[in-house]
Amino acid sequence: MNKALLPTGLHDLLFPKAGAQINIVAKISKHVEGYGYQKVSPPAIEYEDSLFAGAGRFLKKNTFRFMDPQSDKMMGVRSDMTVQIARIAATRLVNTPKPLRLSYAGDVFRVKGDGLHAERQFTQTGIELIGVDNAYADAEVVIVALGALKAAGVKRLCIDFNLPDLAGIVLKELGFKKEDRKPLFSAIKRKDETAINNLAGDGAELILKLINYNIMSEDISNIAVPDSAKVLFYRLIEVINIVKDKLPDVQISIDPLGAGRFSYHSGIGFSIFAKGAKAELGRGGRYKIDEDSGGIGATLYVNELFRLLPRPVPKEKVLIPFDTGAAKIESLQKEGYVIVHSLEHGEDMKKTAQYLGCSCYLDGKQLKTV
């Protein structure tokens, strides 16, 4: 057996990719810290009782699970970090003044591969704002997330808003029983007009109107949706207007019946893209923690950011004798060089520099190119 073989969808992160991804996370972290988001770091593994509590129940199917030999309890490897942050807010930080502004970064693992690359290991970083439920809170998370992507170097950003609760509200209003909604949800997600007409009957006209609805140019009062749905639209319009005012260069679209990746989203949801990106760069939305509290968050996908962003130019390396003084080393590093020590006494410096990929070497007090 090949000892380097890893399970499908999992990977070793090598240089220079590992360093580049760490730098991406660092730029995002610095940006969100400037808006008061404080870092928390939950464990990669938790007991199922806590990992699948509340909104976490939607993650069961895609979570690696195993028995803890010490406690004989079932455990799970996190497949998403938002639910962990919600747990921390509801337990460890329950008495901390609200709103909570929290940030995080880490790897998640999923049973089933996701996206174009069928990955099962992802690096996530993101923010959560917990304890306030209004348009300002929604808009803040969107604005900070978009700003973080800009700080990481992403240009020509686009955001697509959706209303995760809307399809359920509309289908309930149209009289569809819960057991009959699943094929319609699937058809709506695919925007399959033929299937919608076949499945929804007289309700197809309303569903198709909502699929093609332009929130910025059409009045929702002209569409026969329940009042609870209109409240969602009015809230979303308020959020969009705030975002447009703060970030006029970001392209905004809306897919009212678009469903989020995770079923725990409610209220508003969104996906973030950029021109030239082959997949979404982030996703977020509002969610409930319990009956009395909730939050809104945004998760950014570091793997996709790495694919999109230009590769950083590596610094030039210089080979130096091991006994080179600290002042000289500091001087070379200030000039932008990466220092590589020669570890063999009397070796051919030029030959070794070439072998190690150095652009030059130190000969006495003089730098010489290879």
- SS3 of 59, please? helix
Say whether both 321 and 310 belong to one domain.
Answer: no
305 and 358 share one domain = no
Q: Which residues of 68-98 are buried (b: 16+ CB within 10 A; e: fewer)?
A: eeeeeeebbbbbbbbbbbbbbbbeebeeeee
Shared domain check, 356 and 337: yes
Is position 56 within any domain?
A: yes
Q: Which two tokens stand for residue 236?
A: 């979303």
Report whether 98 contacts 295 (CB < 8 A). no
Spatial distance between the Cα atoms of 80 and 58, rounded to a whole number of angstroms: 11
CA distance 61 to 70: 24
The answer to whether residue 124 sits within a structural domain is yes
Is a pLDDT exceeding 80 seen at residue 46? yes
**Residue 231 is assigned to a structural domain of this protein:** no
Segment 156-164 mean pLDDT: 94
Q: Tell me the Cα Rg of the chain.
A: 25
Contact 370, 358 (CB under 8 A): yes
H or E segment and range at residue 9: none
In a domain, 192, yes or no: no
Please provide the average confidence, as pLDDT, over all residues in the chain: 91
Task: Tell me if 182 is assigned to some domain.
Answer: no
pLDDT given at position 58: 82
Q: Is the pTM of this model over 0.85?
A: yes
**Is there a single domain that holds both residue 309 and residue 329?**
no
Q: Could you tell me the residue range of the domain that residue 324 belongs to?
A: 317-369
CATH number of 92's domain: 3.30.930.10
Q: Is residue 250 part of a domain?
A: no
pLDDT in tens, 296-319: 999 999 999 999 999 888 999 999
Whether 293 maps to a domain, the answer reads no
227 is a domain residue: no
Does residue 93 sit in the same domain as residue 64?
yes
* pLDDT at 260 exceeding the cut of 60: no
Count structural domains, the chain: 2
Q: Which residues contact 36 (CB under 8 A, 6 or more apart)?
A: 101
Q: Which of 90-104, 136-150, 213-227 has the lowest mean pLDDT?
A: 213-227
Q: Please report, as a single letter, which amino acid is at residue 345.
A: H
Which tokens belong to 265? 């989203």
Return d(Cα 153, Cα 306) in angstroms, integer.
Answer: 10
Q: How far apart are CA 370 and CA 359, in angstroms?
A: 6
Q: Do 342 and 310 fall within a single domain?
A: no
pLDDT, one tens digit per residue, over 86-114 is 999 999 999 999 999 999 999 999 998 86
